[in-house]
């Protein structure tokens, strides 16, 4: 919270990638890549809620185990290479 305002941390993590397929599920230092931004946001004293924005049920389930909320799955047409966050 900053100045009595709640702060939401948003983690965009689509399943598709041109360079490295399924990169958010790949291990980095024995943890899935998606673990690291969620962990960082959880450690922040300013972040009140973590929202995971994804088009993947696997990433959603993994993020939920780590404490991120995924209130919806991003539709495929909003998860292309040219889509905005």
Q: CA-CA distance, 26 to 38, in Å (whole number)?
A: 15
The DSSP element (H or E) to which 10 belongs, if any, is: strand 8-12
Query: What are the start-end ranges of the H helices in the chain?
Result: 35-43, 57-66
Cα separation, 72 vs 57, in Å, equals 10
Alpha-carbon dihedral angle through residues 11, 24, 60, 58, given to the nearest 10 degrees: 170
Domain extents for the chain? 8-78
Summarised one tens digit per residue, pLDDT across range 24-81 is 999 999 999 999 999 999 999 999 999 999 999 999 999 999 999 999 998 777 777 7
Which pLDDT band holds residue 85 (cuts at 50, 70, 90)?
A: low
Q: Enter the pTM of the model.
A: 0.83
Q: Is 63 helix (H, G, I), strand (E, B) or coil?
A: helix
């Amino acid at each position: 919270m900053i100045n009595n305002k709640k702060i939401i941390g948003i983690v965009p993590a689509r399943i598709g990638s041109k360079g490295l397929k399924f990169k958010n599920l790949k291990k980095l230092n024995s943890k899935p890549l998606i673990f690291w931004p969620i962990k960082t946001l959880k450690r922040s004293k300013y972040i009140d809620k973590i929202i995971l924005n994804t088009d993947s049920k696997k990433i959603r389930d993994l993020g939920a185990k780590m404490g991120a909320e995924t209130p919806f799955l991003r539709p495929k047409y909003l998860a292309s290479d040219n889509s905005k966050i």
